[in-house]
Amino acid sequence: MNSPGSGSKSLPGRAAKAPRGSGEALKIGAVARRLGISASMLRAWEKLGLTHPRRTDSQYRIYTREDRRILRRAVYLRRVLGLNGPAILNQLRQEGLIAAGTAGTNGISATLVGSRFRKLRLQSGESLSEAAAAAKISVGFLSNLERSQTSASVAVMRRLAAHYGVNIVDLFNGFHPSGDETESPRVTPAERRVLEGGEGVRMELLAWGKIVMEPHLFRVAPGGGSRESYSHEGEEFLFVIRGRLTIFLEDKEYRLKTGDSFYFESKTPHRWFNPGKTETSMLWINTPPTF
């Protein structure tokens, strides 16, 4: 039998009672007061995938000591370094405080990408071998991708999307964090739709709807990149906000650094990667909307 105050169960719908200190579980209001931020900010960070509070039977959010440790670091990154939500999320991933595959409600995880490609293949009436041949990948890789056991690089997603007649914006559709698909000229950081482009590549869509340009904020971890060359119709412009990028147009190499801009025709085979030791962030615009 449990002795009083040691391991006793909490009542449904209520936070676990514990001695005052770092070990007690707290509701959202108490956490917001302790951290000096608003409850709405905590809810926005939850949508982004920055925190994953447990829920009571009455659906109250409960934050553990570990949750609050991550949040204290997030508050520091916001106040001292001036990082926005997505940048905080990426930094916490780099520090190992959040799992690399974590995605919020406005993020499109590898699970959803795989299921979307599987749905497109079934709608087209193709077999795994037919679709894999068209995308120049193995049957085993495509099978693993559709079953969410692996992630696809930007180059592979580009070939699959082109094969099925869709583009990157189509993959993002239906993932507004609030559930509101009304077009607006303004997109806040918390509203950005996020797509993982393989290991070490994170794409944040900056506008959607009836657009003729496809603007992204790319975040590329050290060593991350497209993995291989790809090409398509259109034109591309990128601006390096921070970090370094090596990009190849066919066999010609260009080394970009903070403040550099770059423009090229998308039909030229291109591949790219981050050669540095810190994250590279870039504004990357395609027109028309595609990879």
User: Other C-beta atoms within 10 Å of 244: how many?
Assistant: 19
Asked if 267 contacts 290 with a C-beta cutoff of 8 angstroms, the reply is no
Residue 57 confidence (pLDDT): 72
Residues 214, 168 contacting (CB under 8 angstroms):
yes
| DSSP-assigned states of every residue in 56-97 | -TT--EEE-HHHHHHHHHHHHHHHTS---HHHHHHHHHHTTS
CA–centroid distance for 272 within its chain: 19
What is the CATH topology of the domain spanning 26-94?
Multidrug-efflux Transporter Regulator; Chain: A; Domain 2 (1.10.1660)
Which among 262, 96, 171, 179 has a CA at the least distance from the CA of 272? 262
Predicted local confidence at residue 19, as pLDDT: 36
Contact (Cβ atoms closer than 8 angstroms) between residue 50 and residue 74: yes
DSSP 189-240: GGG-EEEE-STTEEEEE---SS-SSEEEEEEE-TT-B-SS-B--SSEEEEEE
- Residue ranges for the chain with pLDDT beneath 50: 1-22, 101-110, 174-181, 291
pLDDT of residue 161: 83
Amino acid, res. 55: R
Q: What is the pLDDT of residue 172?
A: 57
Q: Which two tokens stand for residue 167?
A: 């583009």
pLDDT at 168: 63
Q: Is 250 left (phi over 0), alpha (psi -120 to 50) or beta?
A: left
Q: Is the pTM of this model over 0.85?
A: no
Return the structure tokens found at 288.
Answer: 């028309």
Q: Are 258 and 183 in contact (CB under 8 A)?
A: no
Query: Given this model, what pLDDT does residue 209 score?
Result: 74
> What's the chain's average pLDDT?
78
Over pLDDT 90: what percentage of the chain? 27
Residue 226 Rama label (left phi>0; alpha psi -120 to 50; beta): alpha
Q: Specify the pLDDT at position 193.
A: 77
Domains of the chain by residue range: 26-94, 108-287
* Phi, psi (deg, nearest 5) at residue 214: -120, 95
* Chosen CATH of 108-287 out of 3.30.1330.40, 2.60.120.10, 3.40.50.10420, 2.60.40.1220: 2.60.120.10
Residue 11 to residues 100, 241, 275: CA-CA distances in angstroms? Answer: 34, 50, 53
